[in-house]
């Protein structure tokens, strides 16, 4: 089997395993309040690339983490991610009607249900993460805190606030990078570090290497998103294409141009690979995920 084939098999296996973990972690559709539970399941299950869960498993493999613990960590991270998408898509923010190739949650249900489903997913994520009973309690508490910081004002929510305030504004490249390291990068970084922590305490030098890798892929993820938003169609993306330009949002493409943005993404991919050098061949999946993030078409 080729290396690409082995990676594809690994991603499908992890994605299927995480889908099962999410099924178990979410309330049953038939349980009351049924509409809320159905909405949660509608938006979480059966869609998405599961990049963050893949990062959890790839990092966990470096430190011998138990597959069951990684599944719970991955489910928690993915629920935080999906809750953010639900809220981002609402009329009070990005006002989008297509996500992962199907109607956004507030379109499929209603705005109040979407708001509550996002709130419920955030709470459920921490409930699931706190149930990872085969992880030492002190390390588990540190993991809960890490996810909270990544999701809150010092992370994803802070980045989204800057994003909303930046519509129609001129940002410097440094300001744009800061925004995206919070909005997108913080949760990707958390996925990597949480996966590693599910297996062991991290020595300072290994944590630093993982954070350098995470910073590179977090920024690359957004650069590629901006390129795809400017070049791909909605059917390919599974979400509305061209919305950043239509909303007059600052992007890497609007500041740097299309080709320099592609070159930056490739430079960041190389930086991610270099950061993994201390781990040798054991970090193969993390390297392949850096390639996936930069070379994806949707």
Q: Is the pLDDT of residue 132 over 70?
A: no
User: In the chain, which ranges are continuous DSSP H helix?
Assistant: 3-25, 34-44, 51-62, 67-88, 105-108, 111-129, 137-151, 156-165, 173-180, 186-197, 204-231, 234-237, 243-246, 252-256, 258-275, 284-295
Closest C-alpha to 24, from 117, 143, 131: 131
Measure the CA dihedral 49/97/29/34, to 10°: 160
Sorted by sequence, the CB contacts under 8 Å of residue 251 that are 6+ apart come out as 176, 226, 229, 230, 244, 245
- 3-295: CATH number: 1.10.600.10
pLDDT per position as a tens digit, 134-192 = 899 999 999 999 999 999 999 999 999 999 999 888 899 999 999 999 999 999 999 99
With tokens 């923010």, the residue in question is 93
Sorted by sequence, the CB contacts under 8 Å of residue 143 that are 6+ apart come out as 73, 129, 132, 135, 194, 197, 198
Q: Could you give the 3-state DSSP secondary structure of residue 128?
A: helix
Q: Is the pLDDT of residue 2 over 80?
A: no
Cβ atoms of residues 96 and 234 within 8 Å:
no
pLDDT per position as a tens digit, 231-248 = 877 767 776 766 776 677
Rounded distance between C-alpha atoms, residue 140 and residue 67, angstroms: 16
**pLDDT mean over 92-100:** 93
pTM: 0.95
**pLDDT mean over 93-98:** 93
pLDDT per position as a tens digit, 40-86 = 999 999 988 999 999 999 999 999 999 999 999 999 999 999 999 99
| Predicted local distance difference test score (pLDDT) of residue 99 | 93
**pLDDT mean over 9-18:** 96
Cβ atoms of residues 31 and 115 within 8 Å:
no
Q: State how far the alpha carbon of 201 is from the alpha carbons of 19, 62, 175, in Å.
A: 27, 12, 33
Q: Structural domain boundaries of the chain? A: 3-295
Query: Exposed, middle or buried: residue 206 (CB in 10 Å: 0-12, 13-18, 19+)?
Result: middle
């Amino acid at each position: 089997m080729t290396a690409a084939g082995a990676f594809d098999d690994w991603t499908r296996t992890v994605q299927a395993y995480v889908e099962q973990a999410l099924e178990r972690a979410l309330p049953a559709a038939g349980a009351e309040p049924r509409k809320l539970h159905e909405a949660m399941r509608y938006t979480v299950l059966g869609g998405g690339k599961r990049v963050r869960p893949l990062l959890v498993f790839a990092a966990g493999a470096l430190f011998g983490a138990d597959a069951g613990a990684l599944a719970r960590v991955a489910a928690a991270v993915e629920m935080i991610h999906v809750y953010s998408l639900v809220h981002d898509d609402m009329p009070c923010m990005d006002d989008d009607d297509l996500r992962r190739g199907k109607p956004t949650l507030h379109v499929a249900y209603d705005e109040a249900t979407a708001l509550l489903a996002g709130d419920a997913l955030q709470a459920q994520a921490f409930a699931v993460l706190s149930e990872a009973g085969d992880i030492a309690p002190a390390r588990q508490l540190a993991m809960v805190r890490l996810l909270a910081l990544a999701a809150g004002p010092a992370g994803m929510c802070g980045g989204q606030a800057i994003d909303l305030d930046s519509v129609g504004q001129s940002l410097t490249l440094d300001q744009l990078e800061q925004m995206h390291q919070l909005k997108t990068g913080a949760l990707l970084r958390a996925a990597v570090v949480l996966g590693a922590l599910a297996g062991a305490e991290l020595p300072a030098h290994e944590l630093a290497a993982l954070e350098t890798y995470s910073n590179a892929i977090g920024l690359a993820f957004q650069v590629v998103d901006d390129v795809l938003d400017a070049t791909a169609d909605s059917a390919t993306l599974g979400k509305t294409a061209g919305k950043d330009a239509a909303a007059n949002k600052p992007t890497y493409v609007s500041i740097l141009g299309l080709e320099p943005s592609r070159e930056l993404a490739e430079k960041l991919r190389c930086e991610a690979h270099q950061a993994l050098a201390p781990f040798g061949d054991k970090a193969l999946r993390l390297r392949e995920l850096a390639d996936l993030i930069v070379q994806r078409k949707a």
